[in-house]
Structure 1
Amino acid sequence: MSKCNMGSFKNNISYFLTDYFYTLSSSRSNWESIDGALLAQPDQCNNNIPALIFHDDSFSVTTIPILIQEFYVLVFQFNAKCDRNGNTKPLQCRNLTSIIEYRTDLSSKWIQLVDMADLACRTSLINGGYFNLHTIKLPSETYS
């Protein structure tokens, strides 16, 4: 499996309301460009890994996804807020209609990666305290 850049991600609905969007990485060396988001301070609710906080209705990120146990993954955290003590508090579930799409540097076609409505309102508590954290496995054919 050869690695190619994830050309970009986009939100094709005008309202994107996740609080964090990040890969499992202790650094941001894999992020090549960010448009419509800011690199935040280390996230106390995620072992001090920096988080991207999106401030615009749409965004684009060019990145090389992280390979974990033979899979490239992205991690989303929905409807959660981290307080000053590093505690994650769930927020009220909202009706999400956003869809995340991706494309690679090998293709100009946008492909749906995940429907946010299917994930955002699921309640989960993993790793002893991360609310609503979901891992999205990227399609392997993207990298073949």
Structure 2
Amino acid sequence: MNWRNILIPIGLLVLLGAAYQNYKWMGVLAVSGGIVLWLMLHFTRLMTIMKRASERPLGYVASAVMLNAKLKANVPLVHVVAMTRSLGLRQSQALEQPEVFVWRDNTDSSVTCEFVHGRLQKWTLQRPTEAADAVDGPAHPQS
């Protein structure tokens, strides 16, 4: 169960109640204005992230290796979309847990991310075999 969905509205109601007790309706108006401003800031940030993501191909990232290095556990899906500036390519069925998304780059490397209830739980980096051979270097013949 996600306690944030319960605690944040309760906290806001307590804040409104305290504002009413101390400053009557002027306090309620001031706190309500702050809450509306907070909601508008979050909405604007979300719309900016989605606008940037709409300008890129689905499931594309500039560098899968760099994305793999930046990812952390329990990061929300919105933050991953903000990092990649692209919506992930869905691998799981709609409304199925865990949600699985893939981001690929030009070298055909990919990062597969699993989200449970919108939070990143685990991710894996897949690199093509040619890239792995190039990193290892050419084989040296033994003399």
TM-score normalised according to structure 1 size: 0.25
Bigger radius of gyration: 2
**TM-score, normalising length from structure 2?**
0.25
More RCO (CA 8 Å, sep 6+): 1
- Larger proportion of strand: 1
Considering fraction of residues, name the structure with more helix: 2
